[in-house]
Amino acid sequence: MIDAETRVKELLAKAGIKIDGSGPADITIHDKRFYNKAIRYRELGLGESYMDGWWDAKHVDKFIEKILLFDIRSNVKISPAFLLVAAPAIFNTQSIKKAKKNAEHHYNIGNDLYTRMLDQRMIYSCAYWKDAEDLDQAQTNKLDLICKKLELKKGMKLLDIGCGWGGFAKFAAMNYGVEVTGITPASEQVKIARAATKGLSVTILQKDYREITGKFDRITSIGMLEHVGPKNYKNFFSICNKLLKDDGMMLHHTIADNIAGKYPDPWIGKYIFPGGVLPTLTQISKLVEGNLIIEDVQNIGPDYDKTLMAWHKNFTSNYHEIKDNYDERFYRMWTYYLLICAGGFRARHLQLWQIVMRKRLPAKTYIAAR
C-alpha cells in the first residue's frame, strides 16, 4: 500500500503542483503529519492542517484552483473518518433554532472584522464589477442592478430576507423610495442595520423567514439560500410565494454548486458556515415548477473571485488594527476561507446566480437589466 506522503505527492504532481517549488501554486510542508491528515480527512484535513501551520502556499487561491481543475478529490477515496465529519450534512441543520445559532456563529464574530474587510456599505455578497474600478463601486453596481431587475417603484413594500448589516435596505429606500422590511437572525447585524437605516422607511427585525407574515410587492434574498438547506427549500419558496403579492416579483442571489447531492465542504461547515449547503440551479427550478415563473437567470460567478480577493486584501491590510482581538490560528483560518473560495469561483467550481421570479399570472415580457 502506498503511504500517505507518496500518494499526496503523486496527486499534487499530476495537478502541476510542486512541494518546495517556485511556482505560484506550489506549497511548502512544515509538518509531515499533513500528508496523513490530508488523505484521511480530505477538505477538512487540508484546512485544519493549514490553520495549524503545517503547510503554506505562495498563493493559496491558485493552489486550490489547480486542485479543483484537476479534481484531486475524486482521486481520494472517502474514508469512514471523512464520512463521520460530513454526515451531519444529511440532517436538517437549518431549523429555526439552529439557523439562528448558525448565523450568529459567523455573523457575530465581530463587527470590527467586517467593517475592515467589506466595502463602505458592508455588503457581504458578490459584487458586480462591470464598469467598476474598486469594491465600493462594484457593490453599488450590484445593489442598483438588483433594484432595476425588480423594477422597483416608489411606495412599494420590499422584504429583504437575510438583510445583513442593512446595506441593500438602505440603498433601496434612499434611491428607489421603497418601504423595506429587513430580517436577519444575527443580533450583531441587527444593531448596525438599525443604526444605518435610522430615519428611513426601513424596519429591521431579528427574525427567521418562517416567522414573517404580510404581503410584499417585492422580495429579495441576497446570499441567503446558502443557509436554507435542501430539506427546507420547498418550504422556503412556498413561504416566499405566500408573502408575495399576485403581481409581485422576487430575486434570489445565491452561491450555487454544479452538482446536487454532494457533501458540503466539511471544513467550511465546521469553521465558517455551519449548516450551509449550496443549492444548484436545477434544484431551484424544480422547486418552483407550477407556482412561479423564472423570468431571468444571470451567472456572475467570476465576479465573486474578484470580490473575494478584494476582501482578502482589505482584511490582510487592516488586520493589524484588530489583531489583539483574534489569534494567529483565526487569521490563518480567515485568510484560508477567503482564498479557497476565490479559487473555487476561478475554477468555475462554484457559481453565483441571480434569479428573478414572479407568480404564474399574465404579465408583459420581462426585459432584465444588465
Q: Report the catalytic residues.
A: 341
Q: Which residues, including other chains, have CB under 8 Å from residue 84's CB and lie 6 or more apart?
A: none
Q: CB of 122 within 8 A of CB of 204? A: no
**Residue 322 corresponds to which cell in the numbers above?**
484588530
**Residue 201 corresponds to which cell in the numbers above?**
422607511
How would you classify the pairing of strands 157-161 and 216-222?
parallel
Cα–Cα distance for residue pair 154/149, rounded to 1 Å: 15
- Number of other residues whose CB lies within 10 A of the CB of residue 370: 10
Find how far residue 310's CA is from the centre of its chain: 15
**Residue 350 corresponds to which cell in the numbers above?**
462554484
Closest CA to 254 of 203, 298, 192: 298
Cα–Cα distance for residue pair 193/184, rounded to 1 Å: 10
Cα–Cα distance for residue pair 203/194, rounded to 1 Å: 8
Cα–Cα distance for residue pair 121/331, rounded to 1 Å: 23
